[in-house]
Chain A
Amino acid sequence: MSQTEVNQARSLVYNLFSSLFAWEISEQRQKELTSPDAMVFWDMLAQDPNMARPVQILLATLTQMTTERQRLELAADFCGLFLVGDKNAASPYASLYLSDEDRPTIFGEQHHVMCDFLRQSQLQVQSDFKEPADHLAVMLAFMAQLCVTASDESQLAFLETCIDSWLAAFVDKVDTCDPGQFYSALAKMTLQWVRDDISALKQL
């Protein structure tokens, strides 16, 4: 397997995590995520002992949601965690975790950092994703781009400085605030993936 292929695969995973933090699970998305091919992916991912439990939880939710009501309950979890406020929620914005200020607010310093990164890479946030650039989904999507365009050093630097620097704190917040289990599992899975990827990049 060439390094290019490895990076394509990594990019795919980053994009997957990005999408799951960006949007609620629609019926269509649920079908995609439980398709036979997707199930193979989850099985493979679960082979990592650290991933097995979160994958199991994620799949339990994805495969057992059969009614609109259940989908709405999951959407309400998403909403309460990522779309309102910051106190009883797990705001997915780097600025809120990395700021030196006592009361950091949205569109803080990390938003500007990400704007600069995106501009340098000739990228921008999709117009239908109306979030600050320091949203976790934007950062993960940017990392997906870096996987296939940037040097290993650049990737490692971005991962460590911009994502790993706050991801664990964010994951803790999700774990505390999630009324269900899905997003808590997703967050843990993402953290594990990022940590593993950092290790892998360091070994190259």
Chain B
Amino acid sequence: MTMNRRHFLKGLLSVSCVALGSTSVLKPLTAMAGTLSEPKEDWLVTGSHWGAFRINRKNGVIDKVLPFDTDKYPSDMINGIRGLVYNNSRARYPMVRLDYLLKGWDSDTTKRGDFRFVRVTWDQALELFIDALNTVQTQYGPSGLHAGQTGWRAVGQMHSCTSHMQRAVAMHGNFIKKVGDYSTGAGQVIMPYVLGSTEVYAQGTSWSLILEHTDTIVLWSNDPYKNLQVGWNTETHESYFYLAELKKKVKEGKIKVISIDPVVSKTQNYLENVEHQYVNPQTDVPLMLGIAHEMVKQGWHDADFIQGYSLGFDEFLKYLQGQSDGVEKTPEWASKICGISPERIRELAKVMTTGRVQMMMGWCVQRQQHGEQPYWMAAVLATMIGQIGLPGGGISYGHHYSGIGIPASGAAMPGAFPRNLDEGVKPIFDNNDFKGYSSVIPVARWIDSILEPGKVIDANGNKVTLPDIKMMVFSGCNPWNHHQNRNRMKEAYHKLKCVVTIDTNWNAGSRFSDIVLPACTTLERNDLDIYGAYANRGILAMHKMVEPLYESLSDFEIFTRFARKLGKEKEYTRGMNELQWLEYLYNGCKQANNGQFDMPDFASFWKAGYYDFGPGKPWVRHQAFREDPEINPLGTPSGLIEIYSRKIASYNYDDCPGHPTWMEKVERSHGGPGSKKHPIWLQSCHPDKRLHSQMCESDEFRATYTVKDREPCYLNAKDAKKRGIKNGDIVRVFNDRGQLLAGAVISSNFPEGVIRIQEGAWYSPVGKDGAKAGGWEIGALDSYGDPNTLTLDIGTSKLAQACSAYTCLVDYEKYTGKVPEVSGFSGPIEVSV
């Protein structure tokens, strides 16, 4: 030791150094030690959108994740589960944007997205949250606050993020809510008029009956093999057994599968021997009309079924045959728009009226301008085929979703933590004066509201006056994934005075917020879930695997503390803690199933981790209606299938008339409007390796599919060659609305004029020219590849006002500028102020 150092150390001890050190971050080990206890090797059970698992821990850290005993077809997304907890994007502490902390509602909102945050205590954060709610209710009333949620959730009947946030915020005051969702916005509005239910969220004919009876399956823009990996509740993956059986039958020539789709789907590649029918993007309606025209011309349609079960075919026929608009919808007419030869259209008409035909619609075709029309027109085709209600025939709109088509067990499912206030409970600001604004708006029109408050729009037969939103609260829901047109969103966010986000991660939703409250993941709390969203196969325990990381808390704990600050804790929790709630929900389910299923007591269930209700019985959609439409009418105004809807016609909407109609889009590739300037159609379908934006944060798993750290963009070889692009290049994709970088994957699955970038890629803006700073700017470059940087933010029509993400043209080029590091998957980037 040198003299200097000894001298220094000596001196150090000579002064009173009590002040220097602070309390150590270490303390003696006690028997109660949490995360530092001896490694446990027990395997606990939990569920997720991606399936059920058994998980073990080491040093309080999740070690291995295995598929649950019953899951014979686990998704490879199981490899991303661990990364949901341990990733570099985690929101660790309650934080507040510094400028908001300093200036509150007078803060500079123009640089949201790139800003300095400071850690605050939970008490401070919740008080700031409540202060903001006080301000909005006092100054603007309930029309100034949108807490209606716009997106998804994590699984669990107890900790559902929306329920907790909305119940708690409702104890403070009223707020704007939404109707519909981004996935099926047009479908769920049009189908009740046509078939009497949303159809998209309804049980479908059982796969076993389809395998037994169907001759031809028509997959219409539908990719079940990709999409059935995930579910609204814990997914059982039983559908994959049936897809495997289907593959065998296709190989044996017993079932024909036609995939009508601009691209070759994952399902098609899996099933093999599928007939691929290319169609120009967004032109499904002309193709369907051409098929219908041929059916009528040849007399192949089922006139008796049409007569007995539907309404308005004659009216539609006038349009089909050109009497009402002077344009006959012949295969030749259709061919010019949809890109399929008249002969092939005629052949399809023949195939679809031969033997037992099951049409299976995907959701993509309704996420475009006039997205109501392909769904309606498909129902008309199915009516003309005349097999609705027969086993293995008719039409479905959900066989790719959440295990639809697996027979339901018939068991009652456990309830959930309540979303609404209990009877008699009043909010502190008990004010229902929305100042003439609508209190419920179509889900995808909230940005319109912020930008154009007071504007009156049509929506599903009503007039909606867009409210003047000043504050938004999001919980477990990232609007910077599912909404369209990032630059337009930025404009709107400049007008918001306060944004509160409760999330597990620093996704763009958090980064564009003022107050960020860290929620723990599903693996850090106790819960229970329905096993099989539509099959209702069982009840699954969701054991807490590890303590909440950092200072994150469960949704229940966050809003219990929030309610406590309002003096309403007991009203919020009903005096029950987490485990008491789980027991209460379980016991409610046990009681409802009494006599049908002999469920064990809660303690036994919790220990076992699972209760199995067993398989259900095969079932046919609309069978009862077919058997007797008078006794079992559909939920339509007439009780019949409405090919022509008097109700819709009475709305007099120019973009959604009384029967299915072809209308040109504002943007359409392959010769359509705008295709000279931006010739490529952008397909932003549901991802193969995520659930929307969930799991994008899982760093190690993300690395298995990214290209030079970017989201892959799938390109046609000729298009790529024309632009000098090779596999693995970084590509700039752009239009007048925005620009992004993505990694080129050239694939024979994609035709000329089409590019696929899957939605759910985290928005990661950097400066316009690739500079690190400037992600907050309008026109910023997205460094990762979020397709909604480019998509169009318009309603599908005056009927549904749903999202139209699929009406989107772009172009792309090899990126030669400065390659920025991907700015997402980390914390906010700071800018000097």
Contact = CB atoms under 8 A, between A and B. Distances in A.
Interface of A: 1, 5-6, 8-10, 12-13, 15-16, 18-19, 22-24, 29, 32-33, 35, 37-38, 40-41, 44-45, 47-48, 69, 72-73, 75-76, 78-80, 83-89, 91, 96, 101-103, 105-108, 111-112, 115-116, 118-119, 122-127, 129-131, 133, 135, 137-138, 141-142, 144-145, 179, 196, 200, 203-204
Given A6-B9, A41-B20, A91-B88, 7 more contacts: A15-B20, A40-B15, A72-B102, A73-B116, A79-B119, A122-B29, A126-B25
Contact of A84 (B30, B59, B506): B506
A103 B117 contact: no
Interface stretch (B91-99, B267-275, B410-418, B487-495): B91-99
Contacts of A126: 23-27
B88 A85 contact: yes
Contact of B117 (A15, A79, A106): A79
Given A47-B8, A103-B699, A107-B61, A124 B36 contact: yes
Given A6-B6, A86-B88, A112 B17 contact: no
B133 to A, nearest CB: 23
B825 interface: yes
Contacts of A129: 25
26 contacts: A9-B12, A22-B25, A35-B19, A37-B20, A41-B12, A41-B17, A47-B4, A73-B116, A78-B119, A80-B116, A80-B828, A83-B92, A83-B827, A84-B117, A85-B826, A85-B828, A106-B86, A106-B88, A107-B86, A111-B61, A118-B26, A124-B35, A126-B27, A142-B26, A200-B5, A204-B1
Given A107-B86, A129-B25, A87 B823 contact: yes
Contacts of A144: 24
- Nearest first, the 3 closest Cβ-Cβ pairs linking A and B are A84-B827, A85-B826, A85-B827
A203 B692 CA distance: 59
Interface in B34-92: 34-36, 38, 58-61, 83, 86-90, 92
Nearest to B551: A130
B29 A123 contact: yes
Interface in B736-794: 772
Nearest to A145: B26
B34 A118 contact: no
B36 A87 contact: no
A29 B19 CA distance: 9
B699 A105 contact: yes
Interface in B311-327: none
A144 B23 CA distance: 12
A91 to B, nearest CB: 7
B9 A9 contact: yes
B10 interface: yes
B29 A124 contact: yes
Given A87-B88, A112-B59, A125 B8 contact: no
B28 A122 contact: yes
B424 interface: no
Q: How large is the interface on B (under 10, 10 to 19, 20 to 34, 35 or more residues)?
A: 35 or more
A45 B827 contact: no
Given A123-B28, A125-B36, A85 B506 contact: yes
Nearest to B546: A107
B823 A37 contact: no
A124 B119 contact: no
Contact of B22 (A29, A41, A69, A179): A29
B88 A83 contact: no
A88 B35 CA distance: 28
Contacts of A124: 26-30, 33, 35-36
Contact of B26 (A72, A73, A108, A138): A138
B505 to A, nearest CB: 10
A49 B219 CA distance: 75
Nearest to A118: B36
A48 B116 contact: no
Nearest to B27: A126
A72 B827 contact: no
B6 A38 contact: no
Interface of B: 1-2, 4-13, 15-30, 33-36, 38, 58-61, 83, 86-90, 92-93, 95, 98, 101-102, 116-119, 506, 549-551, 699-700, 703, 772, 821-823, 825-830, 832
Contact of A85 (B1, B11, B89, B102): B89
Given A84-B826, A84-B828, A91-B88, A15 B21 contact: yes
Given A91-B88, A101-B700, A80 B830 contact: yes
Contact of B24 (A18, A78, A101, A130): A18
Contacts of A204: 1
Given A84-B506, A87-B826, A179-B832, A12 B700 contact: no
B87 A105 contact: yes
A57 B62 CA distance: 42
B550 to A, nearest CB: 5
B270 to A, nearest CB: 29
Given A107-B86, A123-B27, A138-B26, A133 B1 contact: no
Contact of A83 (B10, B93, B822): B93
A155 to B, nearest CB: 13
Nearest to B828: A84
A201 B270 CA distance: 64
Interface-centre pick from B12, B23, B38, B90 (highest chain A CB count, 10 A): B12
A57 B481 CA distance: 43
A45 B8 contact: yes
Interface-centre pick from B22, B61, B826 (highest chain A CB count, 10 A): B22
Interface-centre pick from B10, B30, B36, B83 (highest chain A CB count, 10 A): B36
A87 B35 CA distance: 27
A18 B22 CA distance: 9
Contact of A131 (B61, B119, B550): B550
Given A112-B58, A124-B33, A126-B27, A12 B20 contact: yes
A84 B92 contact: yes
B367 to A, nearest CB: 32
Nearest to B547: A130
Given A85-B506, A127-B34, A138 B821 contact: no
B12 A33 contact: no
Contacts of B551: 130
Contacts of A87: 88, 821-823, 825-827
Contacts of B12: 9, 12-13, 41, 44
B741 to A, nearest CB: 16
A96 B4 CA distance: 35
A119 B98 CA distance: 39
A11 B826 CA distance: 34
Contacts of B825: 85, 87
A18 B21 CA distance: 9
A115 B30 CA distance: 14
Contacts of A145: 24, 26
Contacts of B30: 124
A33 B19 contact: yes
A204 to B, nearest CB: 7
Nearest to B709: A103
B4 A80 contact: no
